[in-house]
Structure 1
Amino acid sequence: MRIFLIIMFAFFSIASCNRVEDEGTPNFPDGSTEATNLWVQDSMKRYYYWAAHMPLKPNYSLPTKDFFKSLLYSGDRFSSILDKNNSSTYPKTVRSIYGFDYAVIQLADGKVTAVIKLVLKNSPAQNMGLQRGMIMTKINGTAITSSNFNQLISTIINSTALNLSVGNWDNGNIINEQNITIQSGFTFDQPLVSKIIETNGKKTGYLYIYDFPDNMGQILLQKFSEFKIAGVQDLVLDLRYNYGGSVASAAALCAMIPSGISGSTPFIIYKGNKNGGEVKMTFAQQIAYNKGAPGFNVLYSNNLGLSKIYILTSDSSASASEIVINNLKPFMEVIQIGGTTLGKDMAGFIIEDKRNPPKISWQIHPIIYKVYNANAEGEYSMGIAPSVFVNEFSNLPILPLGDPNETLLSTALNKIFSKYSASSNSNNSPKVIWQSDWQQQFSLKK
């Protein structure tokens, strides 16, 4: 099952977190809620970025999930915890349950509707015929309005089956409306989508990356080999729905794009608490965390040697995808098109009890580091603003990803081929008023 996490960064192998001894620390019997909570507290004291802000005397008798929340810094949007033996503690999202995503938009006439913006391959949603660009008019039989959409969308993740009324946009009208019932189910790894677009002999590569799973170097090698053999001169990287994943895989991607880098070139800086300190890593060092995957030299053999890149983004671009944007900037011109990114300038790794057998089934996903590029530039907690703001939903119906006429991609291609591009953000354009809950996307990735 595809479930989503904060950046996965396998920096340490956590066996079982050793106690951080403090004078007067209580002892609790093994197996008790209090003992589990004490383990959580000790783990957070050692690794948590905001450990210095944790309460000195927490309430150990709280349920573990509530106890964990009581430890968190008020500005922490991303740390989470789950019980591997209790599926009810796992995050629920529309993407993870049904395999699609959507945005609620307000049209020029004030009406509110929802647009299907993403349908995952081989997902329950795709298998029932849902497609990107469809208009969702009803949820479980109730029409979406400006006054009820918040209530309606909250019901989506609390059921195991979903009935949608959907249709196609046609010059302001919704046609071919139909009812689709989607059962909850599994969605597995998503393929990369690539194509080569040629105009007047100039070739541009397009690469859509949904997320950054571990060990994606081999598929990147294949895609960039195709680009290089074809003589691609420009690259459009589509990260608009990419919530992140492995930093090592993000580094592998970055190694194949700009000219003038080597394995020893600085790539990233991690800054942690007093225990974590500061860690600097080169391209080769970061890529090597994907054990068994192609190393820097193999990846660099298909490097495109570009001085400029076009990256498509939205507020669903986060974590490792933001690292790609920020960490390419010291080496090339990054032209970002679309919306401001989410603003997750942080990284973490999983903490769990790996004793044999384990005594604690909880798994902690804390924020452990702030991340910076080779020039020590970071601090984008409010998101990375694009060079060119474009409303993806300004022209309905929205087209398939990779279609040269799709709004964000066409803007990039117009810049590449030096064509005039009319503004797609007029006052009459649909306005996004709600998108699915990004916070739930950062809790687990298996």
Structure 2
Amino acid sequence: MIKRLKIVILLTLMIFMYQCEKLYIIPQNLEVHDFAWKGLNAYYLYQDEIQDLSDRRFNSDLQLENYLQNFSTPENLFASLLKSSDTASKIISDFNMINQITDRTSFTTGMEFGILEEPDTINNVIGYVSHILPNSNATSKNITRGDFFYGIDNVTDTIQLTKENYQDLLINTTDTIKLLFADFDGDSIIPNGKKANLIKRNYTHVPVFSRKTINHNSTNVGYLLYNNDFSSRYINDLNNAFFSFKNESVNELILDLRYNIGGGSFEKTVTELASMITGQFDEETLLKRQWNTKAQPWFELNQPDSLLVKFPKNIDSQTAINSLNLTKVYIILNGSNYTGSSSIELLINSLKPYIEVHVVGNQTTGNNTGAITLYNSIDYDSIGKNTNHMYALQPKVLRFLNKNDETFATGITPNFTLCTNEDILNLGVLGEVSDPILNRVLEYVTTGGINTMTCNPNNFEFLYHSIDSQRVTDTGVFITQDLPNTN
């Protein structure tokens, strides 16, 4: 009898403790902290490497609450729970800022340019025109790619551009820029009397900078110079460009990203671009998702199809993807500070099991991770989110693999490299064979080989390029995914 009574008391106590645990109410000042910890505990890619995210770290919500009290802000807590090498995962204080997809805009004259040290001088610099933005103020001026400038017309005198003043006179100013041009042969700079008054204005960048079909040795080579990010904002413009390529019977493609600004993207956009290039692999696996050690087994058991992402046929219910059915693609990654982006790396790695992907230029950085946006709701979806705050999480949650389980954590090595800087004495015309970079890639397309070249034979000291300041932080590749209910 006494033994039976002890069992009843013990069971009653256990039920009481369980009910207390279930009825635990998170203090309002710790709601965001609690959300951040539990979101990372559930889905952070490196959860198993972070001691304070371990499932065994706390025995109760009260213990977790005491721990969370040690952090003055959610941001401090979030940062403390990340792997030291993780600079991409972030916490957002206002989730309204997340889904705002806008056009790329700049306050610019429309002249993209570089600056180098003038030879045999201590302080003087020379500028060169890299390219002109379509429909910008610079378009109406008598300047072109390959022009050189050395000073500013100050009405009564000439201001020589120097290492100390070129940023204030060319970059930071809002005034009209009155450029003075010169001829330059690599040694001497000789003023040629040409002037141009450039006015900075708000400018909306064109979706596709240049698209044309080049007939090269009886081959129709599609050439696409693309400078923007690979967000959903521009995917329809890219699809229209591929429609033109398709109508022009393109059978080779060069994707030129030498002036690309990088940035993040969505997995969906990358897969759509992959199908534009190909199109003959309907319903085949393009890439695989690999979640952390906690989440992966759940997805394998409950949502196995979500781990395999296939080549899409459509952008949306009303827009079919214009596919070229190519078996090769050539991607130019070039520029002193450009090593591709995670979206381009994902595109390259995912296509490699299916077609020949020739990378020209720079070694890429190596970011094979995917992120997701988590809201404070029972399934981390935006529907039903906590209305007491506006925080959201964007942690790394998975790795991307291709069909053959290959990844790119250490980057992608190019098939052949290009000079870090273009030959400013022979820039040629973008999109024409006179452009040395395009000409070399066309040679590679035709012969499969490439002649070596001497880089920067004049030993110019390059100081600045206007594209570098426009390149944005690579926020990674984002996915969307229905997650399980946590109740």
Deviations 1:122-160 (A, max 9, x none): 789999999877879899x99663x999xx79xx8xx89
The one-letter code sitting in structure 1 at the alignment partner of 2:284 is T
Following TM superposition, by how much is the alpha carbon of 1:423 offset from its aligned partner in structure 2, in angstroms? 1.2
Following TM superposition, by how much is the alpha carbon of 1:85 offset from its aligned partner in structure 2, in angstroms? 7.7
Q: Report if the CA contact (8 A) 1:266-1:280 is conserved.
A: no
Identify the match of residue 243 of structure 2 among 225, 229, 243: 225
* 2:293 corresponds to 1:274: yes
Partners of 1:121 and 1:84 lie apart in 2 by 35
SS at match of 1:81: strand
Identify the match of residue 351 of structure 1 among 360, 374, 379: 374
Partners of 1:83 and 1:179 lie apart in 2 by 43
Following TM superposition, by how much is the alpha carbon of 1:97 offset from its aligned partner in structure 2, in angstroms? 5.9
Identify the match of residue 44 of structure 2 among 41, 48, 73: 48
The one-letter code sitting in structure 2 at the alignment partner of 1:411 is R
1:304–1:396 Cα change, 3 Å? same
Q: Report if the CA contact (8 A) 2:375-2:385 is conserved.
A: no
Report how many aligned residue pairs link the two structures: 398
1:330–1:190 Cα change, 3 Å? same
Q: Report if the CA contact (8 A) 2:125-2:150 is conserved.
A: no
Identify the match of residue 201 of structure 1 among 205, 212, 218: 218
1:273–1:324 Cα change, 3 Å? same
1:124–1:440 Cα change, 3 Å? farther
Following TM superposition, by how much is the alpha carbon of 1:69 offset from its aligned partner in structure 2, in angstroms? 2.4
Structure number with higher helix proportion: 2
Paired position in structure 2 for 1:310: 330
Partners of 1:138 and 1:42 lie apart in 2 by 58
* 2:268 corresponds to 1:248: yes
Following TM superposition, by how much is the alpha carbon of 1:206 offset from its aligned partner in structure 2, in angstroms? 0.9
Paired position in structure 1 for 2:14: none
Following TM superposition, by how much is the alpha carbon of 1:193 offset from its aligned partner in structure 2, in angstroms? 3.4
Q: Report if the CA contact (8 A) 2:371-2:396 is conserved.
A: yes
SS at match of 1:440: coil
Residues 169-188 of structure 1 aligned to structure 2 (within 5 Å): 170-171=183-184, 172=186, 173=189, 182=200, 187=204
Where structure 1 has 5 or more consecutive residues not aligned to the other structure, the ranges are 1-22
Where structure 2 has 5 or more consecutive residues not aligned to the other structure, the ranges are 1-20, 53-66, 153-158, 301-305, 377-381, 479-487
Following TM superposition, by how much is the alpha carbon of 1:334 offset from its aligned partner in structure 2, in angstroms? 1.7
SS at match of 2:265: coil
Following TM superposition, by how much is the alpha carbon of 1:312 offset from its aligned partner in structure 2, in angstroms? 0.7
Q: Report if the CA contact (8 A) 1:29-1:35 is conserved.
A: yes
* 2:423 corresponds to 1:405: no
TM-score, length of structure 1 as denominator length: 0.69
Paired position in structure 2 for 1:4: none
Partners of 1:80 and 1:112 lie apart in 2 by 40
Identify the match of residue 394 of structure 1 among 410, 422, 429: 422
1:239–1:161 Cα change, 3 Å? same
Residues 152-167 of structure 1 aligned to structure 2 (within 5 Å): none
Deviations 1:244-271 (A, max 9, x none): 4122222122223347x42231211122
Paired position in structure 2 for 1:5: none
Following TM superposition, by how much is the alpha carbon of 1:161 offset from its aligned partner in structure 2, in angstroms? 5.9
Paired position in structure 2 for 1:415: 444
Identify the match of residue 37 of structure 1 among 33, 36, 40: 33
Aligned Cα root-mean-square deviation (Å): 4.7
TM-score, length of structure 2 as denominator length: 0.64
Indicate the percent of aligned positions where both proteins have the same amino acid. 22
Residues 33-182 of structure 1 aligned to structure 2 (within 5 Å): 34-54=30-50, 56=52, 60-84=70-94, 98=107, 145=163, 170-171=183-184, 172=186, 173=189, 182=200
1:108–1:405 Cα change, 3 Å? farther
Q: Report if the CA contact (8 A) 2:264-2:474 is conserved.
A: no
Paired position in structure 1 for 2:405: 376
Q: Which is further off, 229-238 or 167-176?
A: 167-176
Following TM superposition, by how much is the alpha carbon of 1:422 offset from its aligned partner in structure 2, in angstroms? 5.4
The one-letter code sitting in structure 1 at the alignment partner of 2:255 is L
1:321–1:142 Cα change, 3 Å? farther
Q: Report if the CA contact (8 A) 2:179-2:198 is conserved.
A: yes
Q: Report if the CA contact (8 A) 1:128-1:182 is conserved.
A: no
Paired position in structure 1 for 2:393: 364
Identify the match of residue 319 of structure 1 among 333, 342, 347: 342
Q: Which is further off, 427-436 or 368-377?
A: 427-436
* 2:256 corresponds to 1:238: yes
Q: Report if the CA contact (8 A) 1:82-1:364 is conserved.
A: yes
The one-letter code sitting in structure 1 at the alignment partner of 2:44 is Y
Partners of 2:139 and 2:43 lie apart in 1 by 40
Q: Which has the larger radius of gyration?
A: 2
Identify the match of residue 264 of structure 1 among 279, 283, 294: 283
Q: Flag the structure with more relative contact order, 1 or 2, with Cα contacts below 8 A and sequence separation at least 6.
A: 1
1:358–1:162 Cα change, 3 Å? farther
The one-letter code sitting in structure 2 at the alignment partner of 1:384 is I
1:287–1:229 Cα change, 3 Å? closer
SS at match of 1:389: coil
Q: Report if the CA contact (8 A) 1:58-1:71 is conserved.
A: no
Q: Report if the CA contact (8 A) 1:136-1:165 is conserved.
A: no
Partners of 1:276 and 1:120 lie apart in 2 by 46
Following TM superposition, by how much is the alpha carbon of 1:310 offset from its aligned partner in structure 2, in angstroms? 1.0
Partners of 1:137 and 1:369 lie apart in 2 by 50
Q: Report if the CA contact (8 A) 1:394-1:424 is conserved.
A: no
Following TM superposition, by how much is the alpha carbon of 1:220 offset from its aligned partner in structure 2, in angstroms? 4.4
